[in-house]
Amino acid sequence: MTKIVVTGAAGQVGTELVPALREVYGETEVLATDVRVPGTGTLLDGPFEALDCLDAAAVAEVVRRHAADTIYHLAALLSASAEQKPQLAYEVNMGTLVNVLEVARDAHCAVFTPSSIGAFGPGTPSDPAPQDTVQRPSTMYGVTKVAGELLCDYYHSRFGVDTRGLRFPGLISHVAPPGGGTTDYAVEIYYDALESGRYTCFLSADTQLDMMYMPDAVRAAIEVMEADPSRLRHRNAFNVTAMQLTPATLADAIRAEVPGFEIAYDVDPVRQRIAESWPRRIDDSAARDEWGWSHRYDLASMTKDMLTHLKAKLGADAGHRKLGADAGHGRN
Ligand code: SER
């Protein structure tokens, strides 16, 4: 029986991962936790508790009381927030992870931790970035992601904790906003296309980054945790991707569905610099070989699905949208 605790569950990934985990393992088996308790939403359809993962004793108490054997540790600050508050990012991204790993060691839990394309840096081969390569990021977010990958590998080799992770690309979703990320433009653009027919992008037109639709990302997280360990040569963390986008190519795909859509550019130097320090494409063949990773959504099918869902959501929820740095990640 798999019993799961999810941290940072009210963020962009957790909001969709928790319902997917409950579908697979049963509603009562998945305890969602976050530093903030959401007022509404599907997370509250099953067990939910407030949990500050910087409080090691509280993490241990929650994991033991739920008799968990698996922890999906999602609580973290994203790249742009981390550049604004690097000390806080270090404290949250590293402090919570070490607390979770210690509890996992003691309580014999498997641990999923997301890494990111942000774990690469300017010295990484850019097109593609191999699975095993130079990792010298120039952001605090990247520093915490590389250190996190190493820490997870260490807990596996030294203490036998079943740690596994993915280097996620930018994640695109119609359910919960990201918040504080460099790839957030790829979500904002869909909302603005429907609400005003135009979007002003904070990255330049030809800035190419890997992206993935959230249903694929959620499935990847579950599949890597279900993978046969005897096939895994890597653990922390697998490159996974679905598509490579620039703001211009994404705008073209949206224009095919929303005629007359216009994009303008007002480049934010901080986020542009972060984006330029990341690869243009990552090579995810290790994930494909070792546990059968395969994406389902490409740009066209994702765009159709995003717009269908957002039309329904914005129709029902006009004026209540909130994209921004205070949304989704607990501590931004
Ligand atoms: N989407 C993340 C960010 O922009 C990258 O992992 O920070």
Provide the CATH number for the domain around residue 302: 3.90.25
Predicted confidence at residue 316, as pLDDT, reads: 66
Indicate whether residue 302 lines ligand 1 (CB < 6 A). Answer: no
> Which structure tokens are listed for 330?
């607990």
Residue 331 placed within a domain: no
Predicted confidence at residue 125, as pLDDT, reads: 98
Please check whether residues 96 and 37 belong to one and the same domain: yes
Predicted confidence at residue 144, as pLDDT, reads: 98
Predicted confidence at residue 127, as pLDDT, reads: 97
* Residues 48-73: tens digit of each pLDDT: 999 999 999 999 999 999 999 999 99
Predicted confidence at residue 143, as pLDDT, reads: 98
Distance 189 CA to ligand 1 centre (A): 16
Please check whether residues 155 and 181 belong to one and the same domain: no
DSSP string, 17-84: HHHHHHHHH-GGGEEEEESS--SSSGGGGS-EEE--TT-HHHHHHHHHHTT-SEEEE-----HHHHHH
Query: pTM of this prediction?
Result: 0.94
- Percent of the residues in the chain that have a pLDDT greater than 70, as a whole number: 95
Q: Is the pLDDT of residue 74 over 90?
A: yes
Residue 98 placed within a domain: yes
Q: Is the pLDDT of residue 208 over 90?
A: yes
Please check whether residues 139 and 201 belong to one and the same domain: no
> Which residue among 74, 92, 93, 116 has the greatest number of ligand 1 atoms within 8 angstroms of its CB, and so is best to mutate?
116
Please check whether residues 142 and 202 belong to one and the same domain: no
Indicate whether residue 182 lines ligand 1 (CB < 6 A). Answer: yes
Predicted confidence at residue 326, as pLDDT, reads: 35
Mean pLDDT along residues 217-235: 97
Residue 233 placed within a domain: yes
Please check whether residues 274 and 253 belong to one and the same domain: yes
* Residues 241-275: tens digit of each pLDDT: 999 999 999 999 999 999 999 999 999 999 999 99
With beta carbons less than 8 A apart as the criterion, state whether 168 and 181 touch. no
Instruction: Name residue 115's beta-bridge partners.
Output: 167
- 30: phi then psi, degrees, rounded to nearest 5: -115, 105
Q: Is the pLDDT of residue 10 over 90?
A: yes
Q: Is the pLDDT of residue 14 over 80?
A: yes
Residue 146 placed within a domain: yes
Distance 265 CA to ligand 1 centre (A): 20
Q: Is the pLDDT of residue 11 over 50?
A: yes
> Which residue among 13, 92, 117 has the greatest number of ligand 1 atoms within 8 angstroms of its CB, and so is best to mutate?
117
Mean pLDDT along residues 18-32: 97
| Amino acid identity, position 58 | A
Residue 141 placed within a domain: yes
Q: Is the pLDDT of residue 327 over 90?
A: no
Q: For the chain, give the mean pLDDT.
A: 94
* Residues 292-325: tens digit of each pLDDT: 999 999 999 999 999 999 999 998 665 444 444 3
Predicted confidence at residue 317, as pLDDT, reads: 60
Predicted confidence at residue 178, as pLDDT, reads: 82
| Of residues 268, 295, 293, the one with CA closest to residue 79 | 268
* Residues 156-186: tens digit of each pLDDT: 999 999 999 999 999 999 998 888 999 999 9
The domain total for the chain is 2
With beta carbons less than 8 A apart as the criterion, state whether 119 and 142 touch. yes
Predicted confidence at residue 324, as pLDDT, reads: 41
Residue 43 placed within a domain: yes
Residue 323 placed within a domain: no
Residue ranges making up the domain that contains 54: 4-169+213-239
Please check whether residues 102 and 156 belong to one and the same domain: yes
Start-to-end CA distance of the chain, whole Å, equals: 35
CB-count burial class (<10 Å; 0-12, 13-18, 19+) for 49: middle
Please check whether residues 197 and 256 belong to one and the same domain: yes
Predicted confidence at residue 258, as pLDDT, reads: 96
CATH number of 222's domain = 3.40.50.720
Please check whether residues 61 and 108 belong to one and the same domain: yes
Predicted confidence at residue 318, as pLDDT, reads: 52
Please check whether residues 133 and 154 belong to one and the same domain: yes
Please check whether residues 150 and 203 belong to one and the same domain: no
Mean pLDDT along residues 189-215: 98
The Cα 255–Cα 25 span in angstroms is 40
Please check whether residues 222 and 275 belong to one and the same domain: no
With beta carbons less than 8 A apart as the criterion, state whether 145 and 94 touch. no
Predicted confidence at residue 206, as pLDDT, reads: 98
Residue 248 placed within a domain: yes
Predicted confidence at residue 315, as pLDDT, reads: 86
* Residues 115-155: tens digit of each pLDDT: 999 999 999 999 999 999 999 999 999 999 999 999 999 99
Please check whether residues 217 and 96 belong to one and the same domain: yes
Q: How far is CA 187 from the centre of its chain?
A: 13
